[in-house]
């Protein structure tokens, strides 16, 4: 990033002074096509046509399985569920500031102003009415999930993923459906805790991706955070209690952390919460039953369990038809994934302190457990850091992981005593596994 900034200027700006927008659009469209056609993106890893912040986001989008051609049916929060959620959300406190600085002048400009929560869900989308109608075709609407995980590279989603203001121009969007649009966005933080509360976004045509618009977004965020400070000075109530958080790692009882209180929860409730966190679009009772226990549970039993869970988790945090979580919610599984998405294998390994709900035999939990272990292992093998490989081989995850043991061996001096010890361990594993 430092080299890129030295050569190209601010890497977070999409259209620099002097750029020919038409030429830039053609260049990026060609680069995007090359990326989609390639199997792993390596063909353009050093391509000067694409900013590194965009290429890295494309890679994350592809790894998450985002469709580059279709913005599917949005994972919506609608009606009373949306009204209740956004009216109690701390981003509602800054809406008057955003309206005054951005929305009031957006009529007949082709611009849309969006406010999202910390997970990329659009709470409000206001501005030019014709642009709002056009945006319906890509589901850029209130209540829709526009996280990077859901729709790929886009300014609000990528700003939240990276915790940094960013612009995305035309074909820099991962999804072709969004290539006619450009956007500038920046995250908003709780001025006391530093926690990301959401993002402010301007979406429109190519002129949205110039440096002046990014400066405007940053100035609006600064004004919004000043408003939040004023609120805190005049109210004893914090902007928001820390998001409820589920801790699943290790062999102990799973724990729900809420408002500074640690609440042990049953394995079944932990399974349900983790599965709902994995499926923000929601799950029917029958689908949830299959993920919990193939063939042994029915919808009636799940509905009874959900009724009990509401008393523990909070009825206002769970919606039904389908069942879904409608509040900010964090899990230790997500913490590890976010570290991996940033390429921070060391943090991922430090956080990954035990198997996911080790006592669970639920098929849906088995899948999460296997996926997370595979991703962490792959990151360690790809990085080849001897210290991290060594830590993995001494962890509950990697004590019998012959693949990582072999990778660790390759980092050692064949003449060292440690090499001989690691080689002996590999030989033992081979005998135990019958290799």
Same domain assignment for residues 53 and 146: yes
Q: Are 11 and 5 in contact (CB under 8 A)?
A: yes
pLDDT for position 194? 86
Q: Are 75 and 150 in contact (CB under 8 A)?
A: yes
State the Cα–Cα distance between residues 329 and 244, nearest whole angstrom: 5
pLDDT for position 396? 86
State the Cα–Cα distance between residues 435 and 322, nearest whole angstrom: 48
Decide which of 235, 260, 275 is a domain's last residue.
235
Decide which of 383, 409, 426 is a domain's last residue.
383
Structure tokens at 233: 């000075």
Q: Look up tokens 């932990």; give the residue.
A: 270
Average pLDDT over residues 38-57: 74
Same domain assignment for residues 79 and 184: yes
Same domain assignment for residues 297 and 324: yes
Average pLDDT over residues 200-224: 96
Same domain assignment for residues 364 and 396: no
Q: Are 284 and 275 in contact (CB under 8 A)?
A: no
pLDDT for position 312? 87
Same domain assignment for residues 116 and 18: yes
Same domain assignment for residues 356 and 275: yes
Identify the domain containing residue 187 by its residue range. 1-235
Overall number of domains in the chain: 3
Q: What's the gap between Cα 398 and its chain centre?
A: 26
Give 62-110 pLDDT, tens digit per residue. 998 899 998 766 668 888 778 877 887 889 999 999 999 999 888 888 9
Strand bridging mode 330-331 / 245-247? parallel
Q: Are 404 and 392 in contact (CB under 8 A)?
A: yes
- Give, in degrees to the nearest 5, the angle at Cα 336 between 250 and 56: 165
State the Cα–Cα distance between residues 341 and 205, nearest whole angstrom: 29
Same domain assignment for residues 145 and 217: yes
Question: Residue 100 maps to which CATH number?
Answer: 3.30.450.40
Decide which of 210, 235, 260 is a domain's last residue.
235
Give 225-243 pLDDT, tens digit per residue. 999 999 888 876 677 656 7
Strand arrangement, sheet containing 182-189: 122-127, 112-117, 196-204, 182-189, 166-168
Q: Look up tokens 């003449």; give the residue.
A: 415
Same domain assignment for residues 46 and 138: yes
Q: Are 242 and 260 in contact (CB under 8 A)?
A: yes
Q: Are 252 and 262 in contact (CB under 8 A)?
A: no
Nearest Cα residue to 66 out of 185, 187, 198, 176 = 176
Same domain assignment for residues 348 and 431: no
Residues 6 or more apart whose Cβ sits within 8 Å of residue 64: 148, 149, 152
Structure tokens at 14: 């999409």
Residues 6 or more apart whose Cβ sits within 8 Å of residue 51: 4, 8, 11, 14, 172
Same domain assignment for residues 11 and 143: yes
Nearest Cα residue to 324 out of 137, 143, 87, 198 = 143
pLDDT for position 39? 64
pLDDT for position 45? 52
Q: Are 137 and 23 in contact (CB under 8 A)?
A: no
pTM for the full predicted model: 0.61
Q: Look up tokens 């956080």; give the residue.
A: 351
Question: Is 274 a residue whose pLDDT tops 90?
Answer: yes
pLDDT for position 5? 46
pLDDT for position 192? 84
Same domain assignment for residues 369 and 397: no
Give 126-181 pLDDT, tens digit per residue. 999 999 999 999 999 999 999 999 999 999 999 999 999 999 999 999 999 999 99
Same domain assignment for residues 88 and 229: yes
Angle formed by the axes of helices 285-292 and 267-278, to 10°? Answer: 120
Average pLDDT over residues 340-367: 91
């Amino acid at each position: 990033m430092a080299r890129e900034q030295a050569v190209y200027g601010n890497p977070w700006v999409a259209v620099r002074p002097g750029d020919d927008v038409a030429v830039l659009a053609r260049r990026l469209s060609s680069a995007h096509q090359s990326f989609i056609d390639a199997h792993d993106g390596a063909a353009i890893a050093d391509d000067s046509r694409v900013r590194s912040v965009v290429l890295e986001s494309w890679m994350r989008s592809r790894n998450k399985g985002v469709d580059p051609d279709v913005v599917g049916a949005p994972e919506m929060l609608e009606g009373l569920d949306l009204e209740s959620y956004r009216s109690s959300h701390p981003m509602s406190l800054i809406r008057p500031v955003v309206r005054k600085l951005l929305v009031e002048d957006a009529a007949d400009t082709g611009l849309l102003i969006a406010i999202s929560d910390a997970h990329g869900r659009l709470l409000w989308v206001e501005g030019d009415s014709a642009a709002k109608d056009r945006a319906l075709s890509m589901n850029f609407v209130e209540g829709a999930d526009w996280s990077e995980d859901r729709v790929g590279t886009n300014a609000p989603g990528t700003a939240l993923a990276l915790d940094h203001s960013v612009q995305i121009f035309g074909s820099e969007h991962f999804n072709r459906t969004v290539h006619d649009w450009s956007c500038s966005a920046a995250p908003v933080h709780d001025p006391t805790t530093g926690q990301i509360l959401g993002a402010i976004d301007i979406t429109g045509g190519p002129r949205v991706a110039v440096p002046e618009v990014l400066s405007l977004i940053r100035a609006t965020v600064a004004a919004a955070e000043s408003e939040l400070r004023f609120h805190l000075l005049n109210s004893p109530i914090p902007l928001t209690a820390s998001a409820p958080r589920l801790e699943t790692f290790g062999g102990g009882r799973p724990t729900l952390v809420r408002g500074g209180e640690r609440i042990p929860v049953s394995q079944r409730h932990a399974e349900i919460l983790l599965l709902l966190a994995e499926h923000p679009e929601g799950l029917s009772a029958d689908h949830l039953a299959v993920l919990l226990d193939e063939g042994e549970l029915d919808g009636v039993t799940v509905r009874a369990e959900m009724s009990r869970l509401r008393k523990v988790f909070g009825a206002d945090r769970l919606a039904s038809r389908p069942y879904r979580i409608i509040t900010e919610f964090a899990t230790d599984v997500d913490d590890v994934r976010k570290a991996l998405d940033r390429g921070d294998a060391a943090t991922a390994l430090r956080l990954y302190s035990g198997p996911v709900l080790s006592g669970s035999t639920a098929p849906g939990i088995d899948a999460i457990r296997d996926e997370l272990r595979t991703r962490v292992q792959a990151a360690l093998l790809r990085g080849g850091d001897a210290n991290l490989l060594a830590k993995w081989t001494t962890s509950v995850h990697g004590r019998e992981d012959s693949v990582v043991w072999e990778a660790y061996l390759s980092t050692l001096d064949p003449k060292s005593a440690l090499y001989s010890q690691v080689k002996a361990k590999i030989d033992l594993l081979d005998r135990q596994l019958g290799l």
